[in-house]
Structure 1
Amino acid sequence: MPDLLAALLLGIIEGLTEFLPISSTGHLLIAQHWLGPRSDFFNIVIQAGAILAVTLVFRQRLWELATQLHVPAHRDYVAKIAVAFLVTAVVGLPVRLAGWELPETVTPIAWALVIGGLWMLLAEHYAEKRGDIATVSWKVAVLVGLAQVVAGVFPGTSRSAAAIFVAMLAGTSRRSSATEFVFLVGIPTMFAASGFAFVELVLDDALGGEDWTAVALAFTAAAATGFVVVRWLMGYIKAHRFTGFALYRIVLGLLLLTLMPAGS
């Protein structure tokens, strides 16, 4: 396959999966088994495209929060975003510095997809018994931060899935409210993670040899696709459950375990 086409497909996959509860890291690792491995810099750039997308989707909400901090409800909400981010940073940074690396086979990703799908079905079932609660509590903020770390350690889990369903179980049972909070927390979290990874590459002098055309194409594809997906998802979950995503994860995970039992 031509390299530019492979880069385009990887950018689209990143945009499609970064904010859907199906694991972007898992899908990219799987895709790169067929499309060829990419550099860490390439993966950082396409993730930045997805971050740009969600930032643009929530630009009005972000502007509202930034310019109306004098409103107690907005100040409280921003503080909870900050707490969730800080929990992720404080707990996740030591994991990163310890040298944790992504798996080289798809087996652990496949199991994470299956287990995560089952967890989503159960979590949404029990969360709905709480009623329609839109409030984000301090407990939810802390647990969302921890969930992001867990998802980072176990690729295939999905950062958005882990955080959204923890939020729903912990008290923010309204799907749209839990999802919006998780996405807003994800903006500083992912910017910080990408920035940290970029600095590591600079310090290791590992930025040479990139095909900048392929990188730019993949970044654009991730940003454009991510923008469409996030806008669609925020409308979809107002009237639909996450069941379809859970079933997709389970089926994909089982297919990978069946077709690739050795993991590669």
Structure 2
Amino acid sequence: MLEALILGLVEGLTEFLPISSTGHLLIVQHWLPRRSDLFNIAIQAGAIVAVCLVYRHRLRELATARRDPVNRDYVIKLIAAFCVTAVLGLLAKTLGAELPETVAPVAWALIIGGVVIFIAEYYARHHVPAESITWKVAIVVGIAQVVAGVFPGTSRSAAAIFAAMFAGLTMRARAAEFAFLVGIPTMFAATGYELMKTLGDGAAIAAEAWDELAVAFVAAAITGFAAVKWLLGFIAGHTYIVFAWYRILLGALLLLMLA
């Protein structure tokens, strides 16, 4: 139960920071017993509950202002980004994409992701701040989420945020909002997919520690809420560069330890 609590805390703290929650979970599980795919995905949905709470007013606005063409366009593009992720994600699953068993791929993904953050920040500094959600942004964000799922250590939130920035959405808060909101249906759908697979397998149902999953889910939701609130305040006056350095240093340390 304590291990489940630790994993939930790690997930909540890292899901929305551009440092890869799945990567950190795999790192922690390198020393703790490995958990099921359902556990790893479901606790990410716990963190997504935090986004629903943080953006509750924005979600209500989008749900109740259907006659507003701006909000309607925003919702359509959220749905489009999710559909791209769903189709490509199912394709990746069909082709046999699985989480790695070793830490080395995560370490390299952390380092490469750190370099990408430097490039994205340079790109944002040399372009006029833009906040429009174009079709290019929606499609690229959908693809980026699948890339992050296939390569743990990339970070789903980071991939979505920086893909949006490269696609022209250079205003950090706006890119973060779109990335976080499109993550709501994405992670709930992924959790539902894994849950249905588990419920269809009697052995998997018996093997899953449901009480521990519940503890980790709640811990991820609580810490995720705090992490999102902090990040939104941080990026209001800072760049993502500090996270780039963190990723590179952590990735290098992991490779050194493996060596």
When normalised by structure 1's length, the TM-score is 0.95
Aligned positions, number: 258
1:212 shift after superposition: 3.6
Mapped partners of 2:87, 2:209: distance in 1: 35
Mapped partners of 2:243, 2:22: distance in 1: 16
Kindly indicate whether residue 125 of structure 2 is the aligned counterpart of residue 128 of structure 1: yes
Deviations 1:134-158 (A, max 9, x none): 1111110110001111111111011
1:37 shift after superposition: 1.2
Alignment partner of 2:151 out of 138, 151, 154: 154
Deviations 1:116-169 (A, max 9, x none): 001111111112211211111111011000111111111101111111111111
Aligned position for 1:252: 250
Deviations 1:172-203 (A, max 9, x none): 10000000001001101111111111111122
Kindly indicate whether residue 113 of structure 2 is the aligned counterpart of residue 80 of structure 1: no
Q: Which runs of 5+ in 1 are unaligned?
A: none
1:43 shift after superposition: 2.0
Mapped partners of 1:211, 1:100: distance in 2: 24
Mapped partners of 2:3, 2:196: distance in 1: 26
Deviations 1:56-100 (A, max 9, x none): 111110000000010000000001101101111122211112221
Moved more, 127-136 or 143-152: 127-136
Mapped partners of 1:166, 1:215: distance in 2: 31
Alignment partner of 1:68 out of 65, 68, 75: 65
Aligned position for 1:51: 48
The amino acid across from 1:251 in the alignment is L
Moved more, 16-25 or 197-206: 197-206
SS in 2 for 1:208: helix
SS in 1 for 2:175: helix
User: Aligned runs of 1:179-218 on 2, under 5 Å?
Assistant: 179-205=176-202, 206-218=204-216
1:216 shift after superposition: 2.2
The amino acid across from 1:68 in the alignment is A
Q: Is the 8 A contact 1:117 1:246 kept in 2?
A: yes
Alignment partner of 1:41 out of 38, 41, 46: 38
Q: Which runs of 5+ in 2 are unaligned?
A: none
When normalised by structure 2's length, the TM-score is 0.96
1:209 shift after superposition: 3.4
